Chains A and B, each alone.
Chain A
Amino acid sequence: MTQAVNNLALLPLYAAAGTALLVLVCDLAFGRFQLFAGVLGATATVFCALFSSPRDTFCSADLCSWVGSSRAALLAALFAALTAGVLALSAGALREGYAPVGEFCFLLTCSMAGGVTVAYAGDLITLIVGLETLTLPLYILVGLRRRLAGGSSAAVTFFLISVISTAVALLGAALLYIATGALHLSALTAGTGRFTHLGTVGTALLIIGFAFKIAAVPLHAWAPTTYDGAPIPVATYLSTASKLGGVIALAAVVQRLDTGPIMAVLAVLTMTVGNLVALRQTRMVRLLAWSSVAQAGYIIAPLAAGSDGVEAAFAYAIFFILLEFVAFAVVVALRGPALDGGTIDDYRGAGRRNKWLGAALVLSFAGLAGLPPGLAGLFAKITVIASLIDTGWGWLAGVVALNAVIALAYYIRVAALLYAPIKPVGISVVDPELLHRATHPRLPVPAAVTAALAVGAAAAIIFGFAPQAIFTLLSR
């Protein structure tokens, strides 16, 4: 009973894993070009995912461990694209020498391979292994700033809580297996008879374990500390790719098992707590972290409706990721060589100094708040609410809507600060504007960062005007 392997189907994974190896080889052979190789490989992965026809493989009977679909291809491509983007964003930091370039790129591309696996995973084991592959390199990447205040605690928090979450997820998978004997996603069913409760709790634990990954409340405690302690590019990856992995895992479970109430509870808690706490943040990355906690709530809200909501959840996740990436990219660009996000007050007047960066941040924040000109975000919000109302979860749609209002309060606070006039300094000077400019120079933005930001922003704008492209890919 050996499984047949269709290597063509596995092309995206090969590309991803190959990228990791390529980076390693480059590092060994040349000691340079690692970043370039990483970006190149990741881009190749994107194309492999998008342009290879998706099909199943690793099948026993009709149950497959590798399930190809255009949705999986899209998600895998997204992982790869995010990896490429994050690599580009780290160019500045790596040039400054905060981490060994080769290892950094290698770890990130390994994570990408995990992500690709998750996207195509057809059974719980592959899914969890893929998730771990996605996450484990990140423990190390987060810890790279361990010499700075917060860096080590970020890594330790992330690590410990992730381990706990994996344990819970594994326990859940085990319980579910006991109850139903199924591990393949397509065969998942609810427990019957006296195994009902076992199956139920197994499902719940599985959900809880995966919910850690997307930092859903009450399983979110790691996210703010970790994001804030991690280098910004890594935080970017955490809040986008890592979250996407969690969403895929959750969706896989939710699609087959009825988890409405627990998803609803999680969603309500997540968005409400996330938004409320975000209101009071003073550090940029913490704010983004809490906002992304809240966004996770919007993402999982449609999952309460089961398989009917999966498409909406993915759509939201994709739009969210685009916008979140742009937001983090701007933070990277604005902060220059500083690896942390700084306080929100550090961004005062930044939009006046740097028009394009300001505009990009406003675009992404508007989108995250679900308002034009961030059309992508608007459509994301519309999708979620439409899907919830369609499936009879009207009250949950109401909660989402209410939270959108709370969220705007902090997004707009930051966005307005970008254009706020400079604070008067204590001493009197002839031209405070000049002094301000002298103390807040326009930091040079590395070309790679600019490129990543431009591509991200362009994608956010294009998909804002043409969201149907994403829906089409997701629905097949």
Chain B
Amino acid sequence: MIGQVLLVAVLALPAAGALVTALLPERTARITATVFAALTLVVAVSSWSSSDVSWLWVPRLGINFHLGVDGISYPLVVLTALLTVLCCAYTVWKVPEGGSGRTLSALILVLEVGILGTFLALDLVLFFVFFEVVLLPMYAVIAGWGGPNRRAAARKFVLYTLAGSVLLLLGVFTVVAAAGTSDMSMLAYGAGLSRTTQCVAFTLFALAFAVKAPLWPLHTWLPAAHTEAPTVGSVLLAGVMLKMGTYGLIRIGIGVTPEGADWASWVLGAFAVAAIVAGSLICLRQTELKRLIAYSSVGHMGFVLLGIATQTTAGVQAALIGNVAHGIITGLLFFLAGAVKDRAHTGNLADLGGLRETAPRLAGLVGFACIASLGLPGLAGFWGEAFAVVAALHRGWTTFAVIAAIGGALTALYFMRLLRKLTHGPATSALTGISAITRTEWLAWSPLIVLTLAVGLVPALVLTPALDSLASIGALR
């Protein structure tokens, strides 16, 4: 009972917070938003092992308000709540140009509702509803508080991802029409759907989630959106919103349409590998800080998708931890990139250099985040990438494994290139005399730094609960 209350509170708190925030005066509102986000974090953390909530919502459409948390979603739920708190806190300190911080905070909370809902939903249609919730707030965040080309970027983002999510809608109802229920717990292991239905539905799901994840070549909304989005937008976008795609692929793609997933796994794997290599190669030739990090997400999500594509327990676990790790590390990277950009007023790598001379600690953090992101063992990023490769080998995809591993080396190459340009050498004019890291920034970043280390050293934090839950959603090799 108390667990159910907690689950509902996870969604209700940020929703209420958004409403309250929107009505309060500017600065109070931002602080209130942070308080609500923090409360949500507390509730989210304590929601572990709470029993499902299931209410009939719209019987005509078969929508159950069915929420639940398990080992697969729990880490993502906590990550989302955490990043939201950090973003809200960051907004208290610094409101990007373009609009009021109050609205931004409220939008962040709305985003949180959508993302958390997606992770918690155990009903296909409900999942879709929450999946859609994030679109407009994110658009508003990019279009309202973004960089100079924000409109085009935001429009591309929203249209592209909507194109993805309508495919999801089609897929959802292909399944619902065939199975007669949209409850995921009843749909696990395919629920006796015919092979054709599963293949069709999985194709739709895979496309939808591939856009969201994003999987090369369906990724082109991402660089634009990231480059233009304000720091908090990028953090949330990369940190958790991309995970909705990969999470969906695990929970729905594999869980509901296992035969379809099996049928298409080879193709998905091939694209994932292509994404890894293409993402890394493109990163090698990027000249804009945030754009580079954005493209790096393409590569990293490629590893996650490779793990999912293998359909092995190890692979899916790798994908799960890869998800979380990418959320933490890329969140941190975007915070740092935002800090650099805010100080230098440019993201052009040609104008940046010598950061370690002018801001050694910032440079140190950038170095840490980059090294974590390139998958250094002992830090969070390692597990997902390494074990995606292991899983690919396990599945018998030697070629994919080799290419993915080479992609890993390329990842190192471009991050090194980034670090060399950004931190080494003599300080450029853009970076001279920049301010040191403020206390709020430390506050926002340190949890991510700690988590990067913690998840790296104790991956069981993420993986042990997931291992039990994986068995409940679908058949894995």
Contact = CB atoms under 8 A, between A and B. Distances in A.
A416 B58 contact: no
A409 B170 contact: no
B365 interface: no
B174 interface: yes
B58 A379 contact: yes
Contacts of B110: 373
B169 A372 contact: no
A401 B155 contact: no
A385 interface: yes
A404 B61 CA distance: 19
B163 interface: yes
Contact of B133 (A372, A412, A413, A419): A372
B57 A371 contact: no
A276 interface: no
Contacts of A397: 170, 173
Contacts of A402: 163, 166
Interface of A: 366, 371-373, 375, 378-379, 381-383, 385-386, 389-390, 394, 397-398, 401-402, 404-405, 408-409, 412-413, 416, 419, 421, 467-468, 471-472, 475
B302 interface: no
18 contacts: A373-B133, A382-B125, A382-B128, A385-B169, A386-B173, A389-B170, A394-B170, A394-B174, A404-B162, A404-B166, A408-B162, A409-B155, A416-B143, A419-B140, A467-B60, A471-B58, A471-B60, A471-B61
A107 B24 CA distance: 45
Contacts of A378: 129, 132
Contacts of A409: 155, 159
Contacts of B154: 416
A400 to B, nearest CB: 8
A419 B99 contact: yes
A135 B154 CA distance: 42
Interface residues of B, number: 36
A390 B180 CA distance: 10
B350 interface: no
B167 interface: yes
B231 to A, nearest CB: 20
Contacts of B99: 419
A163 B260 CA distance: 54
| Chain B interface SS verdict (over half) | helix
Contacts of A419: 99, 140, 144
B25 interface: no
Contacts of A383: 60-61
Given A401-B166, A467-B58, A468-B57, A416 B151 contact: yes
Nearest to A375: B129
Contact of A386 (B61, B135, B139, B162): B61
B300 to A, nearest CB: 27
Nearest to B99: A419
Nearest to A406: B159
B136 interface: yes
Nearest to B143: A416
Contacts of B98: 421
B159 A386 contact: no
Smallest CB-CB A-B distances: 8 pairs: A401-B166, A471-B60, A389-B173, A372-B133, A386-B173, A405-B163, A390-B177, A468-B58
A409 B155 CA distance: 7
Given A397-B170, A401-B170, A389 B177 contact: yes
B150 to A, nearest CB: 10
Interface in B46-62: 57-62
A19 to B, nearest CB: 33
B133 A390 contact: no
Contacts of A379: 58, 61
Nearest to A408: B162
B170 A398 contact: yes
Contacts of B253: none
B173 A405 contact: no
Nearest to B169: A385
A385 B170 contact: yes
A382 B144 contact: no
Interface in B143-168: 143-144, 151, 154-155, 158-159, 162-163, 166-167
B114 interface: yes
B176 interface: yes
Given A371-B135, A468-B59, A405 B162 contact: yes
Contact of B136 (A371, A389, A398, A401): A371
Contacts of B163: 402, 405
A379 B57 CA distance: 12
Contacts of A404: 162, 166
Contacts of B58: 379, 467-468, 471
**Residue of A385, A397, A416, A471 most packed against chain B (CB within 10 A):** A416
A310 to B, nearest CB: 13
A188 B301 CA distance: 57
